[in-house]
Structure 1
């Protein structure tokens, strides 16, 4: 179980700025709900090595609302219910607003751990203005300036890391124990009506499979255990894909939080797209989120039966351009309705799972790295060329390659991408993202005079 942290507060108190600082990206998953002008963002915050949380940036929790804002407000309340920790953000420049007493009261009804974040402390000369917020009655308080990156390290080290360790240590241990015996968990992810349920139903009708339904989580998420070619799998149909309920409110029907939780619990993700529709920003953002989660990914273009030969050719060309960042993933063109190409998916699923746990020797990684260096040298910094000395495998699932050298902190992003691409091609890694971490070698002959 990955911890979920939600940022709430009035409009323009700096939630999105704090979100960007914590996730270290502006490319987080953005979901635009029908009829809502305010998007919600989802991203990962890496607290320390192999420890991360899911972060949700919500719409402003303002109490005087029009009809559209009320829908955004409802979604914020759903995010609060699904979360494990609340970061209540307030604005030191504005001072304490009467509305924030109402928000605080609303928070307490959910009985969730809460940290009060006093943002924009830069330029506030009157301590009394900041001290006003203590009357809200929250025990945990952190003063920051998100735009100036002030107080962020303290927030992470003093509050987030200890809370995560204390709250989820047992769950992580139990999850690791269970994962050794678990089947390959495959999540079917995609926008509503791309054919997730149809694909699962088509797969389960095959006679070579043994199936049994497992009670799903809330919001119509259903897991099914099965055996295919002597291998055990669990297929997970994500929230919003069920055809049993035709609810008028599509926002309530599709729970993005449940979908993201499913991604975290799975080994391989099938990103299902509708071949008859253009790839949209949400598809790309979802793909990016899957990559950042470190899960294996297989791209499935469904409903190819709706295309003629010319349209099929255009779809292939479009994929090459729009999904070029998924060059390591297998792409399948299928028709779930007519069961065309659906069982070829299992070869890619198993490949993706195996590659994510593939052990690569230090000698192989170091040799590959030196070949890459020979073809394209690292840049020269301050008269000295950056030296990459050796590489080894830091962890699996996803594979993390750690490269040691001198001045590696000066490596440019394009050169880092070059190395990643080189490892993919040289080692023939398919179906899983890989990560590279750089470490500067410490010279033992340089002593600290202090």
Structure 2
């Protein structure tokens, strides 16, 4: 499995980084304003360009190291350090400045692939007029661009694509390795639990919240089975995510969810379940990952039976939206519940990658419809012709209908439950989509 490369937009204030970010994301995610210094923090997006995936980070402009400018400079320097590829934006109308030369020296020392992009060049005439001074940078290639109007954009992206393949980091793992990501708020015990599982202090463990800054992988073999345990940075509530490194850590954590099979979300038994815990669970749900909810630090409640029962009820109530996810009580400190993890993960993995014959699926659909017919739509009964499995991890199915857009979410949920029960998929997410029969138009 590849981990996708990170492309950072670097440059002085007001050279057009946010405008290029918006063009790449095809939406107005970044604030664009003619005033210098508008981008106060880094903005991120996952981009899929002609089948090639990469993460994009927009940074504040690098300027003098004082006041707010110093904070922006640190943010940009972090992005340079973490990036795989850099777009170095310059202002074609303003020309090459001492600040540009300083940034160029910084990027040269980073030894990362750098694309010097001269922005605000709208046509070939301006290219011929404005580009020559930028050869003073001493680079092999300079890319003219109008981030606002698109001039030079196709050529820039064509040059980027080959690097996306080479910069993608490939995990050389045994076949059928189970990838497990440990998620949660800061200081819930993710690293400690991995240490308890492996029996080694491979992860840095500290009482200071937020020790893990990156997604750290640990390989583990147990008999014929191979595992990749992914330790991630704690995800704070958005309003509290202010540290210059921490926002990058959140991006890494979300990326770890995308490359795992099972997301283990840890809760703190001493603090109970919080709104942020359910938000983290929803991140995994949105990416279709299998889930386990682990109540860590259970040893804190060892002699509090009433609180144990109360907490379990609170957790079950809060995670009803992922009712398929097993809830386990564990303690990284004394090892409680750890032996149960692997058999449970094995059951989840088998369900997560299950495939079913189409004939069995169609019988299941027919039985579900016979037991509970779909409601009328504009006076006509909804019809479901057949179903097939689209994919695994998670199991995804498509149901062909005469009016797919008319299927109410409550009936979709009913079918999901029927498929879950009928196929024995009680521990994983199940997704059902509706599609119109080819060659026919849905009735209006």
TM-score tier, shorter chain, comes to 0.5 to 0.7
Q: Deviations over 1:309-356 (max 9, x none)?
A: 343334323323432332221111222212111211112211221112
CA contact (8 A) 1:239 1:253 kept: no
Contact 1:61 / 1:103 at 8 angstroms: preserved in 2? no
Answering whether residue 193 of structure 2 is matched by residue 199 of structure 1, we say: yes
For structure 2, the 5+ residue unaligned runs are 30-38, 136-141, 204-211, 236-242
Distance 1:117 1:285 in 2: 40
1: CA distance between counterparts of 2:420 and 2:162?
34
8 Å contact kept, 2:4–2:168 = no
**Structure 1 residues 420 and 88, CA gap change in structure 2 (3 angstroms):** farther
Conserved in 2, the CA contact under 8 Å of 1:116 and 1:140? Answer: yes
Q: Measure the CA separation in 2 of the matches of 1:276 and 1:422.
A: 37
Q: Paired residue for 1:167, among 160, 164, 167?
A: 164
Where 2:339 maps in the other structure, the secondary structure is: coil
Change in 2 beyond 3 A, CA 1:347/1:13: farther
Is 1:139 aligned to 2:163, yes or no?
no
Displacement of 1:429: 1.7
What's 2:425 paired with? 429
Pair 1:77–1:411, CA change in 2 (3 A) = farther
| C-alpha displacement of 1:200 | 2.4
| Cα offsets for 1:232-286 (capped at 9, x unmatched) | 3333434689xxxxxxx89479834444444444332222221222545543443
Q: 1:47 deviation in Å?
A: 6.0
* Structure 1 match to 2:3: 2
What does residue range 248-327 of structure 1 map to in structure 2 within 5 Å? 251=245, 255-280=249-274, 282-307=276-301, 308-327=304-323
| One of 219, 226, 230 as aligned partner of 1:232 | 226
**In the alignment, which of 186, 189, 200 is matched to residue 183 of structure 2?**
189
Residue 340 of structure 2, aligned match among 344, 349, 359: 344
1:201-246 Cα distance to aligned partner (Å, 9 max, x none) = 32334xxxxx8979xx996835142316x533333434689xxxxx
Cα gap change, 1:250 to 1:141, in 2 (>3 Å):
closer
Q: Is the 8 A contact 1:223 1:234 kept in 2?
A: yes
Query: Greater CA radius of gyration, 1 or 2?
Result: 2
| Alignment partner of 1:223 is 2:218 | yes
Alignment partner of 2:313: what SS?
A: helix
Deviations 1:100-150 (A, max 9, x none): 96898589656446697999xxxxxx999x999x868963757569xxxxx
Q: Distance in 2 between matches of 1:415 and 1:113?
A: 52
1:403 counterpart residue number: 399
Q: Which runs of 5+ in 1 are unaligned?
A: 27-36, 120-125, 146-150, 206-210, 242-248, 446-450
Deviations 1:354-382 (A, max 9, x none): 1121112222333333444452516626x
CA distance in 1, matches of 2:40, 2:67: 13
State whether residues 221 and 240 of structure 1, in contact with CA within 8 Å, keep that contact through their aligned partners in structure 2.
no
Give the secondary-structure state (helix, strand or coil) at the position aligned to 1:377. Answer: coil
Could you tell me whether the CA contact under 8 Å between 2:353 and 2:393 is conserved in 1?
yes
CA pair 187-238 structure 1, distance change in 2 beyond 3 A: same
